[in-house]
Chain A
Amino acid sequence: MNTVTFTIIAIFTLTFALAAATNPRLMHAALSFAVMFVGIAAFFFLLGAEFVGLVQIFVYVGAVAVLIVFTILLTRRDPEKTRGFNWGGVVIAIAVFVGLVWAILKSTSVSIAPPVIKALTVKQIGMALMGSYVWPLLCVGVLLTAALIGALILVLEDKRQ
Chain B
Amino acid sequence: MARSVDQIFIHAKEWLLSPLAGRAPDWLIQIASSLINIAAVLGVFLTLFALISVLERKILGRMQNRYGPNRVGPFGLLQPVADGIKMLIKEDIVPARADKVVHFLAPIVVAAAAILALGVIPYGRNMTPFVIDGGILFFFAVGSTTELAVFMAGWGSNNKFSMLGAMRAIAQMISYELPLIITVLPVVMVVGSLNPDKIVFAQKYYSFGFVPHWFVFTPWGATAFILFFVSGLVESNRTPFDVPEGESEIVAGHMTEYSGFKYATFFMAEYLGMFAVSGLAVTLFLGGWHAPLPWFAFIPSYVWFFAKLSILLFVFIWIRGTLPRVRVDQMMNFAWKFMLPMAFTCLVSAAVWHYAGRRLSGWLWSFAVVAIVYFGLSLFLDTGKKFTPRTYRFAE
Chain A interface (Cβ < 8 Å from any Cβ of B): 1, 27-28, 31, 34, 50-51, 54-55, 57-58, 61-63, 65-66, 69-70, 119, 121-123
Q: Which of A57, A66, A121, A122 makes the CB contact (< 8 A) with B151? A: A66
Label chain A's interface by main secondary structure. Answer: helix
B170, A119: Cβ atoms closer than 8 Å: no
Is B35 among interface residues, defined by CB-CB distance under 8 A?
Answer: no
A50, B133: Cβ atoms closer than 8 Å: yes
> Shortest beta-carbon distance, B39 to chain A, in Å?
23
A27, B137: Cβ atoms closer than 8 Å: no
Considering only residues 95-139 of chain B, those with a C-beta below 8 Å from chain A are 99, 101-102, 132-134, 137-138
Please indicate the chain A residues that have their CB under 8 angstroms from the CB of B193 in the complex: 122-123
Is B361 among interface residues, defined by CB-CB distance under 8 A?
Answer: no
Please indicate the chain A residues that have their CB under 8 angstroms from the CB of B170 in the complex: 66, 70
A27, B147: Cβ atoms closer than 8 Å: no
Label chain B's interface by main secondary structure. Answer: helix
Please indicate the chain B residues that have their CB under 8 angstroms from the CB of A27 in the complex: 99, 102, 155
Q: Which of B102, B145, B174 makes the CB contact (< 8 A) with A28? A: B102
B192, A51: Cβ atoms closer than 8 Å: no
Bound: A1/B133 CA distance, A:
23
Residue with the highest number of chain B CB atoms closer than 10 Å, among A34, A58, A62: A62
Is B27 among interface residues, defined by CB-CB distance under 8 A?
Answer: yes
Please indicate the chain B residues that have their CB under 8 angstroms from the CB of A1 in the complex: 27
Considering only residues 184-223 of chain B, those with a C-beta below 8 Å from chain A are 192-194
A66 with B102: in contact, given A31-B152, A55-B137 (CB under 8 Å)? no
A57, B134: Cβ atoms closer than 8 Å: no
Bound: A80/B132 CA distance, A:
41
Please indicate the chain A residues that have their CB under 8 angstroms from the CB of B137 in the complex: 51, 54-55, 58, 122
Is B142 among interface residues, defined by CB-CB distance under 8 A?
Answer: yes
A57, B144: Cβ atoms closer than 8 Å: yes
B142, A57: Cβ atoms closer than 8 Å: yes
Bound: A114/B102 CA distance, A:
42
Please indicate the chain A residues that have their CB under 8 angstroms from the CB of B174 in the complex: 66
Bound: A55/B174 CA distance, A:
16
Is B141 among interface residues, defined by CB-CB distance under 8 A?
Answer: yes
Residue with the highest number of chain A CB atoms closer than 10 Å, among B27, B102, B134, B194: B134
Is B334 among interface residues, defined by CB-CB distance under 8 A?
Answer: no
